Amino acid sequence: MIDYDLKKIRALAFDVDGVLSTNNVYLFSNDGQPIRTANIKDGYALQLAVKRELQVAIITGGRSPLVRQRYERLGLQNIFDGVSVKIDCFYQWCESANLRPEEVLYMGDDIPDYEVMKACGCPVCPYDAAVEIKEISCYISSCCGGEGCVRDVVEQVLRAKGFWMNGLNDKVAFGW
């Protein structure tokens, strides 16, 4: 279980490669864009968090129209891609969304996430994160990146807030 008062969490933010997708990308020569995976259960949990009025953001160094399209279809409005300095983006997002850093859970897996994880209230990571990231995390998921780690932490937050399995008749769309 996450060692943090999850009732204080108002926002969730995630890296893409190694968190929302596996650590592997498939390279194809036709357009130069790497192909990424996406976990359906992660997607379900994210769109439910949006529906339950949590702020949800993606902060990634990568830039992929398909990644943007997938998460926009799930209802995410704060998708920051092509970000070279994540901490600056994190603080700008917090300010624009009227969030305090301690109200944010951030899941990252590698060195580019380090500063944000030191700044946010609840730093968490996938099982296969870099050692330096594991050392500063208050929770290490039992799932690897792209294999349910996002579902793991989102579900814990929603359960702590009483939003998980509450209103089973709510219509929840998947997006894809």
Report residue 140 as tokens. 């290490």
Closest of 89, 98, 109, 96 to residue 149, by C-alpha: 109
DSSP letters, 3-28, are: SS-GGG--EEEE-TBTTTB-S--B--
Q: Beta strand 78-80 with 11-14: parallel, antiparallel or unpaired?
A: unpaired
Instruction: Specify whether the CB–CB gap between 150 and 46 falls below 8 A.
Output: yes
Residue 5 among known ligand-binding residues:
no
Residue 15 among known ligand-binding residues:
yes
Residue 128 among known ligand-binding residues:
no
Displacement of CA 134 from its chain's centroid (Å):
16
- The C-alpha atoms of residue 157 and residue 161 are separated, in whole angstroms, by 6
- The C-alpha atoms of residue 84 and residue 131 are separated, in whole angstroms, by 21
The 3-state DSSP class for residue 80 equals: strand
Report residue 149 as tokens. 């780690």
What are the binding residues? 15, 17, 109
What are the binding residues for substrate? 17
What are the binding residues for Mg(2+)? 15, 109
